[in-house]
Structure 1
């Protein structure tokens, strides 16, 4: 990449809406949100599961959003696409309205000098695929092949950066080892099957990507990667047992999710897990060879927070923790939350200090010059939207220290090709519904048109982009004046 990408990221199931329009059918998330609908009391940092039928209505407002992002200065936009919109019935029927929406959307953004960066799959399996076994069924590899071939053929000319999937770790652990996410098919065998099929679709996408290059659908210099939500570990003490706990954590939470796609091989812990639990599951040699022959090109990294780890909490008291420790039985370690650290209102740790060293570890493991892109980094908050101006200074403080670390890593030789914050505008959050604000732009979810309004972080990020991330501190009074000017200019084409 010649130009560093300053981007924002978002996801179809969280922003797009129009879930029953344009020939689209249902996915596992449509079914999940309807069956588990739950609205807790206002202002509580508790999970809300709400309707995604309209969400932020990006489906109808993508032209407005393109203007807003162009005004912001973004040169890229990461978008987790909706497989179900393109293939709503089965693996054969291509929905013309669905693919046309993405063609129109990508074209509009390119016209505004914003590179679309598609993520082909993010948790949102078509319901027709799920009732046939979903990611437990190896046939999903063939279903996904048809989908990616269509995407590369019709959308390949708009971009040269792609990702196959996003947060396979959260998806597999929270949907197959717990019932936090759909499809809520809890079982160790289900977990290992789903993970392997996710790794196989990555290899399939790479094979089809290279074929699309030969056909001229995708540029010869285009790259495709996988995005991983790795929270780098920090040993809570210098004891050997804590350091060894971090090693176990990394094999399970880093290597297991990146090595099959980037190295083309599974770490030992995967096969140990299958053996330990006597699972009736075996990976063929053909699959292992296929993974090795179809390795991906780059790493997407969702950095929100590191995690403090210790092998034992017996020498500590409850007063040492911000929230209670969490024990991981499989890895025999504790996740702890030291009281002396900073946290968001949603109890997420705020600590950028593992971003540089974590990037260095990725390079040591997967190649000195491997391209890396921060695909998600942001702060969920309760923004005060009652005033004329939304002064989200906590978000600015969070983002600034993390962007600073990205720039520091670049200076140390890390091949960061871009930074994409989470997220462009307020959306549905799987962990907080519509009460958890992440956006640079506010969305009025009580408005029939989902009216947009910039926050202070919007003009702050605009300045960061303008000076290419070299200056992150700005006079607060000056930013407020700039926000007021932006609001004065915010006519009907931005709302």
Structure 2
């Protein structure tokens, strides 16, 4: 039998460790986006650049040099976009706020920047759609980066100032708050692997960025409690369950280390107040022991949250490189999406059970799940994306199967509402329920949009029939 980090999770759960969703707690269906990926209008109403503008201009970093300058023009079309969310019939909309719009300069809040989000929230409220806000989705203001960005401990205080301002201005109108989206991407992809902005390649800077991201999360949660906000607050982690490519001991060891960097670095910090030994050993060796954490940092990072957000798309296969130094991805064994990601709904179940067994029993939201496929606008202005429909159907069924065994998943946010700027992939990959013609910026519902609309309506009908 191949060794796996998840094999012991198939054991039957006992009554003592099952989480039972409280009666009459409605399951939330939603859609998700992020500011830089859809808003465009990067200089409108006083906004200043984020780290992604210069990153897009670095040769070969972003597909064909694509930028977020126009994106989906959501900044101008938000009313029409909210009407599309309403048409879907979902309960909630998860969106992020552009830090550069709110604080275009250090310590200088921008009334015009917050006005856009106040208007967006009003539009959502008028249609009965719950606003769910991601405070940080990777677009650090350039003024902060010029002073070291997330490698500078001062960035924690700048983030707290920004978060506090949002709590003050819209805190009484937001259902769910997400402090950070995928700190693995901001920290590791952005500072160690160079795949995301700011594009650095340093283990030390990657760890510092991760530590400060998590520290800023903990401080924001504390501030949220102090201000007695009415909503709930948590963080969003990316999960890609990892499996060894072969049954070899080398692949198993590589998988354990990859898991430490991808998952345990965040889960252990948030829920156990520690970092994995493997990671700290590497960091201490590379920095010759000169990197010291401040007293009480881990206590702050592990400040209790109301929920955990999970972004899930696929699993990962880990193969040790020739010579036993480092690792790479193994070849897919099942059908893949346009991103080259395997379609494996059962790996989500394995990951949720692992989180429940090893880390936390707090409620979970699936904050992103979806698939990119090469969509085409037909002559009848329809987009027949059968593969995406099947992907969504299988994953939604898996979410409910997990809940049937006590998983306590409280909601599902589909990624994404629109095709959009997909970071280093530019506009080459399409995840949306709505096809965006990037020449005209017109939106067209895909077959998957009709599927999701019908699915949500049917689930609500069933729930209403079950109500006493």
TM-score of the superposition, structure 2-length normalised? 0.88
Q: Aligned-pair distance for 1:341?
A: 1.3
Structure 1 residue aligned with 2:367: 375
CA distance in 1, matches of 2:370, 2:103: 31
- Does 2:380 correspond to 1:406? no
Q: 1:380 to 1:308 in 2, by over 3 A?
A: same
Structure 2 residue aligned with 1:320: none
Structure 2 residue aligned with 1:74: 90
CA distance in 2, matches of 1:383, 1:333: 33
Q: 1:240 to 1:35 in 2, by over 3 A?
A: closer
Q: Which of 176, 179, 196 is residue 164 of structure 1 equivalent to? A: 179
CA distance in 1, matches of 2:61, 2:198: 17
CA distance in 2, matches of 1:390, 1:469: 26
Structure 1 residue aligned with 2:6: none
CA distance in 2, matches of 1:201, 1:94: 19
Deviations 1:260-281 (A, max 9, x none): 2233332223321222213531
Q: Which of 18, 39, 60 is residue 41 of structure 2 equivalent to? A: 18
- Does 2:448 correspond to 1:457? yes
Structure 2 residue aligned with 1:354: 347
CA distance in 2, matches of 1:437, 1:99: 29
Q: Aligned-pair distance for 1:27?
A: 0.8
Q: Secondary structure at the match of 2:407?
A: coil
Structure 1 residue aligned with 2:410: 417
CA distance in 1, matches of 2:257, 2:232: 31
CA distance in 2, matches of 1:37, 1:272: 33
CA distance in 2, matches of 1:38, 1:123: 16
Q: Aligned-pair distance for 1:160?
A: 2.6
Q: Aligned-pair distance for 1:10?
A: 0.8
Structure 2 residue aligned with 1:286: 296
Q: Aligned-pair distance for 1:51?
A: 2.2
**Structural mapping, 1:61-460, within 5 Å:** 61-90=77-106, 92-213=107-228, 218-219=229-230, 222-238=231-247, 242-279=251-288, 280-292=290-302, 294-311=303-320, 329=325, 332-338=326-332, 340-367=333-360, 369-388=361-380, 389-447=382-440, 450-460=441-451
Higher mean alpha-carbon deviation, 169-178 vs 423-432, is at 169-178
Structure 2 residue aligned with 1:481: none
Asked if the contact 1:403–1:469 (Cα under 8 Å) also holds between the matched residues in 2, the reply is no
Deviations 1:210-264 (A, max 9, x none): 0221xxxx21xx3211111120012344555544443333222111022222333
Q: Which runs of 5+ in 1 are unaligned?
A: 40-46, 315-326, 472-495
Structure 1 residue aligned with 2:65: 49
CA distance in 1, matches of 2:321, 2:44: 52
Aligned residues: 437
Q: Aligned-pair distance for 1:346?
A: 3.1
Q: Which of 57, 82, 85 is residue 34 of structure 1 equivalent to? A: 57
Q: 1:269 to 1:240 in 2, by over 3 A?
A: closer
CA distance in 2, matches of 1:55, 1:312: 38
CA distance in 2, matches of 1:408, 1:48: 41
CA distance in 1, matches of 2:189, 2:345: 25
Q: Aligned-pair distance for 1:192?
A: 1.6
Q: Aligned-pair distance for 1:181?
A: 1.4
CA distance in 2, matches of 1:378, 1:71: 19
Q: 1:180 to 1:309 in 2, by over 3 A?
A: closer
